[in-house]
Amino acid sequence: MSSEIAPESAPEHPNAGDTAAVQPLAAGASAEHPLSAGASTEHPLDGAYVALARPRAGWAFLGSEIAVLFRRRRTWVMLIALAAIPVLIAVAVRISSAGSTPGRGPAFLGQITNNGLFVGLVALIICIPLFLPLTIGVVAGDTIAGEASSSTLRYLLVAPVGRARLLLVKFVAAAAFCVAATLVIIVAGALIGAALFPIGSVTLLSGDTVSLGEAGVRALLIAAYVTLSLLGLTAIGMFISTLTDIPVGAMAATVVVSIISQVLDSLPQLDWLHPWLFTHYWLDFADLLRQPIDWSSFGSNALLQLAYVAVFGALAFGRFSTKDILS
């Protein structure tokens, strides 16, 4: 991420000697880069694209940012933790001798023994209220504050990277994590379900049965829906991240915001507010499991999340572009 800094500029900056990032390195090499959180993470340095034209450099910047995110040990731990949830569910259902009573526990739990593909859905229902917002909060809250706290932000901006472009790249990388997190749950659920239970044609909420192939398409649609649902929170997290230099604070605040929104959504006295809460449509992904598909919640959710991204993206730009970068 700090790779666009011209190597010549490094000696002029105090503290520059602390980081390996400013050392001129061969393309593709990576260097250990200390973070304030204490975690040692790998930052790839791709010095080759410094010389590239700006449009291509933008894509390379994005690619580099995503690579940094997914090479972090923290990212892997979070994805593995998410993948462990469907595994836990499947194993628990498999080893419990008593058949589960339909109507108890999370929706679809009773269908797992008939069809292992439902493991991923049950895991999604369990993850959406807390675990997914938690991981999104960590990633989104870290976007700007993490750079600031590890003193890499100013080097990023010394290089000819506009602040708007930096925000955009950070947001797209965080959105890529949303895609990965959702897919990890669904794919891990499908794999462990296929390993422990019979799989076959899938019963929809309407009582109709669809083939395995169509069920796969609908699972991908659900992944798209859940990813979309998380973008509003990602934008909120990025805005909070521009307000502080302490990444942990931004992460915690993002998670708290998602919990507050869900609490407000559960109060019937505030039903006028509910359609405006970014968590309101989170569990309505099941509308994709009706026959025919009910697209209305998909559309409402997409519009709502886009509005949140626009509002909090603009707020983040306003804050970040006027901020004095001190670290």
Partner 1 sequence: MTNNKWKRWIPAAVIPVVIAGVAIAVPLSANATDSLPTKSPQDVLAMIGDSTVTAFSGTVEQTANLGLPELPAGISASSLGASGTGSGTGSDSNASPSPSSTGSSGTSGSSGSSGSAAGPSAADVSSALQLLTGTHTARVYVDGATQQRVQVIDQLAETDLVRNGSDVWQYDSSKQTAVHTTLPAKSGSAGDNSGDATVQTPEQLAQKFLDDVDPTTNVSVGGDVTVAGRSAYDLILTPQATDTLVGSVSIAVDSATGLPLQVSVTARGAADAAFSTGFTALDLSTPSADLFSFTPPAGTVVTEKTMTEKPAPTGSAAAGSGAASGAPDGSAAAKPVVTGSGWDAIVELPAGTDASALTSSPLLGELTTAVDGGHVLSTTLVTVLVTDDGRVYAGSVSADQLQAAAAAK
- Binding residues for partner 1, per CB under 8 A? 101-104, 107-108, 110-111, 114, 125, 200, 203, 205-209, 268, 283-284, 286-287, 290-292, 294, 296, 307, 310-311, 314-315, 317-318, 321-322
Length of the chain: 327
**Shortest distance, CB of residue 274 to partner 1, whole angstroms?**
11
**Shortest distance, CB of residue 145 to partner 1, whole angstroms?**
19
Q: Which is nearer to partner 1, 65 or 287 (CB)?
A: 287
Q: Which is nearer to partner 1, 40 or 209 (CB)?
A: 209
Q: Which is nearer to partner 1, 14 or 292 (CB)?
A: 292
* Dihedral sign, Cα of residue 76, residue 82, residue 86, residue 89: positive
Reported as type and span, the H/E element at residue 195 is helix 163-196
Confirm if 180 and 70 have CB atoms less than 8 A apart: yes
- Which among 134, 321, 131 has a CA at the least distance from the CA of 237? 134
Q: Which is nearer to partner 1, 53 or 104 (CB)?
A: 104
- Which among 202, 152, 192 has a CA at the least distance from the CA of 43? 152
DSSP string computed for 283-295: GGGGGGGSSS---
Distance (Å, rounded) from C-alpha 122 to C-alpha 142?
29
- Tokens 């006028």 sit at which residue? 272
**Shortest distance, CB of residue 15 to partner 1, whole angstroms?**
25
Q: Which is nearer to partner 1, 15 or 209 (CB)?
A: 209
**Shortest distance, CB of residue 236 to partner 1, whole angstroms?**
13
**Shortest distance, CB of residue 321 to partner 1, whole angstroms?**
4
